[in-house]
Amino acid sequence: MELKTKIKAEDGKQEMVITREFNLPVDLLFKAFSEPELIEQWMGTKVLKFEGKKHGSYQIETKDPKGNVAFKANGVIHEFKPNQKITRTFEMDNTPFGVQLEICVFEPVTDDTCKLNMHVIYESVAQRDEVLKLPFAQGINWAHNRLEEIVSKLK
């Protein structure tokens, strides 16, 4: 399987850039980022609140198979330009990861293809690096983030 998503996260910087080209017209990509029922499908999370507008806010939540809330996050939307740009914050509840600023730019390439550029800025280099390690703990066993602990002990 080909990996189309690219991530640039240089050493010692508190930011990263995620880019990806889609075989979709830009309006469909934007729709996937701005309609709660679509966000739920591809992010695999429940959208509790979503106000797709300037000064709007959102809340998402994921439950483990037993129905306990395992992951909760929220943010505010600073800029919402249909088919062009979303600037928002993202913060995971009850975690030490702090707030991140996400600047998502949607760009048409052809009529049927487009490009996403997500510029993510963290509070510190350390926080960015912690977030980068998260996929180990995520989606595995929400009740216990043991693997993350174990991986950190391996250092």
Give the interface with other proteins as residue ranges (CB under 8 A): 1, 3-7, 9, 18, 20, 22-24, 28-29, 31-32, 38, 41-44, 116, 131-136, 138-141, 144, 146-147, 150-151, 154-155
Q: Which amino acid is at 146?
A: R
Nearest one of 120, 86, 137 to 9, comparing CA atoms? 120
Cβ nearer to other proteins, comparing 32 with 76: 32
Nearest one of 99, 38, 41 to 73, comparing CA atoms? 99
- Would you state the structure tokens that stand for residue 84, as one six-digit string? 């062009």
3-state percent breakdown (helix, strand, coil) of the chain, nearest 5: 25, 40, 35
Q: How far is the CB of 55 from other proteins (least distance, A)?
A: 26
Q: Which amino acid is at 36?
A: P
Cβ nearer to other proteins, comparing 11 with 94: 11
Cβ nearer to other proteins, comparing 6 with 54: 6
Q: How far is the CB of 137 from other proteins (least distance, A)?
A: 8
